[in-house]
């Protein structure tokens, strides 16, 4: 009897094993199915160095490769059609494709109004869990290497963890493309040492590096605290007044129409607040940053700056300017002391000869300051925790139901290539000399373009230290720098071994932008889990609060409303609650609690 029972159990186990094996995805079962896929990117760069994104050299190269998902000799190529939204109408283009049902197999949804969860709920995005786990080892390995993001590749759907989108990943926090900038030359030429009272000096050295002896009241060589900023802005105001620039449209401080800087109010977290919502690592909860004591204290500072005459008197009129392109005429005209701008403006970039006010201009960058002056101890000495920076999880791709009957193992093998060492380098840095030589046989058009661009020796070289050094012409020509790789594709970017060839002074500025760790960010791996109803409600809440703050915050800054009046502040916070600010905290906390 025992032997019969054992035999039955073994038979049952074998049956279960066979059932499991038959249910497992096998690449060979897809062999012979269509490998033609359409892939919508978020935006394009064609028109500068090639007519269509299909002509991108790296794309020609990678499409010449063959893919063998099960490593058994059944190789096949991917035939890819790239869809590029028209510039300035990206969202309309993507939403129209979805609305008409004429959407592609693979979609970058960062430009869309729908989340991955919504598309999945509507049956447009596939559950790709098994395909990613089996055919994307490079992608899965990234999450194993980064404990902070462990498990974030999964989305909670109907109580079950599934992979419904692919993220662009970064091995390390990417270099900043923007931040707070200021006129360093004005401090050198018009400022004095806060301790000794001696004049500063500075000049460009023969090697192209900038050298000066500027020191701030904190003792640092950069503006670290609010007191440092006010000392610096005071110098700017003296320059503007003495030169009569205030009569010609000049001013010391440029800010957004709502009185903040950057996306998250990049001067605010050093007070303990945020212009929006943030994740508090100490409590594990999402916080409405608008209603914090720190945000109110920040507004008190901005009101003081307004009363000092430091802020652009017409700041509210720039509501249509992008936050990093506010009043460009005054910026490039040399009439502003500090602003939120692009890293391409660092150094001598403003010194173009277009205006005598920019002759000798030197622009430096700064981290968000630590409040050491306003409010009480509870809002002082706080390490900044939130400012605009690229997260290590970026744009999302969904695989739509249009691809369900195609060779998905081959597609995911292709997509995974961009998360590996070779594919990631190629996507971000372009082709090596060896790859170009290979292209002369397998993708002649790619080699011809590299020859035409003067990159026959490759887009980069490897230094003795093992770092990747880009060809210098790629730093001076941003359009070419974008054309040589596949920067519009999802994959893994690794800047840890990248030698950009920056001069010491420039690298120091780039490092200052990321001086503090961003711990309060609520990434796409969280917001992608919003249900359709929650996503719709969030958009409504955000629009209402954004409109409200654009009206009310300037009133507190200009003194139309007294920021020190508790009744006025309580009324502001109450209105935020009525618009749903705390409701949205509850929605996000629900997702965090489910993880």
Task: Categorize the per-residue pLDDT at 1 as very low, low, confident or very high, splitting at 50, 70 and 90.
Answer: very low
pLDDT of residue 48: 66
Report how many domains make up the chain: 2
> Residue 114 has what pLDDT?
83
Q: CATH number for the domain including 485?
A: 3.40.190.10
Q: Does 500 have pLDDT greater than 90? A: no
Burial (0-12, 13-18, 19+ Cβ within 10 Å), 482: middle
Indicate whether 2 pLDDT > 60. no
What pLDDT score was predicted for residue 390? 78
Residue 34: count of CB within 10 angstroms of its CB: 13
Per-residue pLDDT at 237 exceeds 50: yes
- CA pseudo-torsion sign 277, 280, 281, 284: negative
142 and 210, same domain (yes or no): no
pLDDT at 381 over 90: yes
pLDDT at 6: 45
Q: Could you report the per-residue pLDDT of 95-126, keeping only the tens digit for each?
A: 999 999 999 999 999 888 788 888 998 999 99
252 occurs within a structural domain: yes
Residue 263 binned pLDDT confidence (cut-offs 50, 70, 90): confident
Q: Which of 462, 496, 530 delimits the end of a domain?
A: 496
Same domain, 210 and 270: yes
Query: pLDDT by residue (tens digit) across 39-65?
Result: 999 887 655 688 888 899 999 999 999
Is residue 19 situated within a structural domain?
no
Q: Examine the domain organization and report whether 277 and 358 are in the same domain.
A: yes
Residue 169 has a pLDDT of 95
Measured distance CA(254)–CA(337) in Å, rounded: 8
389: pLDDT strictly greater than 90: no
More confident residue, 291 or 28: 291
Residues 145 and 198 in one domain: no
Task: Indicate whether 514 belongs to any domain.
Answer: no
pLDDT over 80 (residue 138): yes
Helix (H, G, I), strand (E, B), or coil: what is residue 168?
strand
Instruction: Give residue 7's pLDDT.
Output: 46
Can you tell me the distance from the alpha carbon of 282 to that of 265, in angstroms, rounded to the nearest whole number?
Answer: 21
Asked whether residue 16 is assigned to any structural domain, the reply reads no
Residue range 229-244: mean pLDDT, rounded = 97
303 and 379 in a common domain: yes
Higher-confidence residue of 134 and 501: namely 134
Residues 256 and 230 in one domain: yes
Domain limit, last residue, from 460, 479, 496: 496
pLDDT band at 562 (very low <50, low <70, confident <90, very high): very high
Where is the domain boundary, 479, 496, 513?
Answer: 496
Note whether residue 438 is domain-resident: yes
The verdict on residue 101 lying in a domain is yes
**20 occurs within a structural domain:** no
Regarding whether 187 and 292 lie in a shared domain, the answer is yes
Note the pLDDT tens digit of each residue in 181-216. 999 999 999 999 999 999 999 999 999 999 999 999
Whether residue 365 is found in the same domain as residue 216:
yes
Q: Which pLDDT does position 595 carry in this prediction?
A: 63
Per-residue pLDDT, 349:
94
Statement to judge: residues 440 and 538 lie in one domain? no
Domain with 308, as residue range(s), is 178-388+522-594
CB 131 within 8 A of CB 456: no
Alpha carbon separation from 475 to 207, 343, 499, 502 (Å, rounded)? 17, 12, 12, 10
pLDDT digit string (tens) for 437-451?
999 999 999 999 999
More confident residue, 212 or 10: 212
Residues 179/266, Cβ–Cβ less than 8 Å: yes
pLDDT the model gives residue 16: 39
Q: Do you know the residue count of the chain? A: 595
- For the ranges 10-14, 41-45, 551-555, which has the lowest average pLDDT? 10-14
pLDDT-derived band at 5, boundaries 50, 70, 90: very low
88 is a domain residue: yes
Whether the predicted pLDDT of 465 surpasses 70 = yes
Look at residue 9 in the predicted model and tell me its pLDDT.
45
Rg over CA atoms, the chain: 27
Distance CA 233, CA 308 (A): 10
Please tell me whether residues 200 and 328 are part of one structural domain: yes
Cβ burial of 416 (10 Å; 0-12, 13-18, 19+) is buried
pLDDT mean across residues, the chain: 91
d(CA 292, CA 299) in angstroms, rounded, equals 11
Residue 4 above 70 pLDDT?
no
Do residue 420 and residue 374 come from a single domain?
A: no
pTM: 0.81
pLDDT per position as a tens digit, 336-353: 999 999 999 999 999 998
Distance CA 453, CA 440 (A): 15
pLDDT band at residue 527 under the 50/70/90 scheme: confident
312 and 205 in one domain?
yes
> Can you tell me the distance from the alpha carbon of 479 to that of 489, in angstroms, rounded to the nearest whole number?
16
């Amino acid at each position: 009897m025992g032997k019969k029972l054992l035999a039955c159990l073994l038979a049952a186990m074998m049956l279960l094993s066979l059932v499991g094996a038959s249910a497992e995805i096998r690449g060979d079962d897809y062999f012979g199915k269509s490998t033609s896929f359409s892939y919508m990117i978020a935006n394009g760069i064609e028109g500068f160095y090639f007519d269509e994104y299909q002509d991108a050299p790296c794309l020609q190269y990678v499409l010449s490769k063959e893919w063998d998902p099960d490593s058994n000799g059944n190789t096949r190529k991917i035939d890819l059609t790239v869809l590029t939204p028209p510039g300035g109408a990206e969202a309309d283009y993507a939403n129209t494709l979805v609305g008409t049902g004429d959407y592609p197999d693979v979609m970058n949804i960062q430009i869309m109004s729908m989340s991955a969860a919504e598309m999945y709920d509507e049956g447009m995005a596939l559950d790709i869990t098994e395909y990613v786990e089996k055919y994307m080892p490079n992608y899965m390995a990234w999450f194993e290497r980064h404990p902070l993001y462990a498990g974030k590749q999964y989305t909670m759907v109907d109580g079950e963890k599934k992979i419904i989108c692919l993220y662009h990943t970064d091995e390390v926090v990417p270099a900043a493309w923007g931040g707070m900038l200021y006129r360093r030359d004005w401090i050198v030429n018009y400022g004095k040492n806060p301790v000794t009272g001696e004049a500063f000096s500075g000049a460009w050295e023969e090697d192209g590096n900038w050298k000066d002896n500027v020191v701030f009241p904190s003792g640092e060589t950069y503006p670290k605290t609010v007191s440092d900023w006010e000392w610096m802005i005071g110098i700017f105001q003296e320059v503007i007044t003495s030169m009569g620039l205030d009569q010609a449209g000049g001013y010391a401080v440029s800010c957004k129409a709502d009185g903040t800087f950057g996306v998250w109010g990049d001067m605010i977290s050093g007070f303990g607040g945020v212009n929006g919502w943030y994740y508090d690592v100490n409590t594990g909860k999402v916080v409405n940053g608008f209603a914090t004591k720190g945000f109110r204290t920040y507004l008190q500072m901005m009101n003081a700056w307004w009363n000092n005459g430091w802020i652009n008197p017409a700041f509210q009129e720039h509501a249509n300017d992008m936050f990093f392109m506010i009043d460009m005429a005054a910026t490039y005209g040399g009439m502003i002391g500090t602003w939120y701008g692009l890293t391409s403006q660092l150094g001598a970039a403003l010194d173009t000869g277009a205006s005598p006010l920019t002759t000798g201009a030197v622009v430096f960058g700064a981290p968000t300051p630590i409040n050491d002056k306003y409010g009480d101890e509870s809002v002082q000495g706080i390490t900044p925790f939130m400012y605009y920076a690229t997260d290590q999880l970026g744009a999302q791709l969904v695989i739509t139901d249009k691809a369900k009957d195609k060779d998905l193992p081959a597609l995911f093998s292709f997509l995974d290539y961009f998360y590996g060492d070779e594919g990631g380098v190629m996507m971000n840095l372009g082709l090596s000399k060896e790859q170009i030589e290979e292209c002369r046989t397998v993708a002649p058009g790619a080699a011809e373009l590299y020859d035409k661009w003067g990159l026959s020796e490759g887009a980069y070289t490897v230094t003795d230290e093992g770092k990747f050094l880009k060809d210098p012409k790629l730093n001076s020509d941003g359009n070419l720098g974008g054309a040589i790789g596949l920067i519009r594709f999802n994959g893994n970017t690794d800047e840890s071994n990248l030698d950009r060839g920056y001069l010491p002074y420039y690298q120091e500025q780039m490092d200052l932008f990321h001086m503090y760790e961003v711990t309060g960010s609520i990434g796409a791996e969280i917001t992608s889990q919003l249900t359709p109803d929650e996503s719709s409600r969030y958009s409504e809440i955000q629009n209402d609060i954004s409109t409200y703050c654009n009206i009310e915050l300037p009133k507190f800054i200009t003194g139309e409303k007294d920021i020190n009046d508790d009744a006025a502040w309580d009324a502001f916070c109450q209105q935020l609650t009525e618009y749903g600010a705390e409701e949205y905290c509850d929605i996000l906390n629900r997702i965090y609690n489910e993880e």
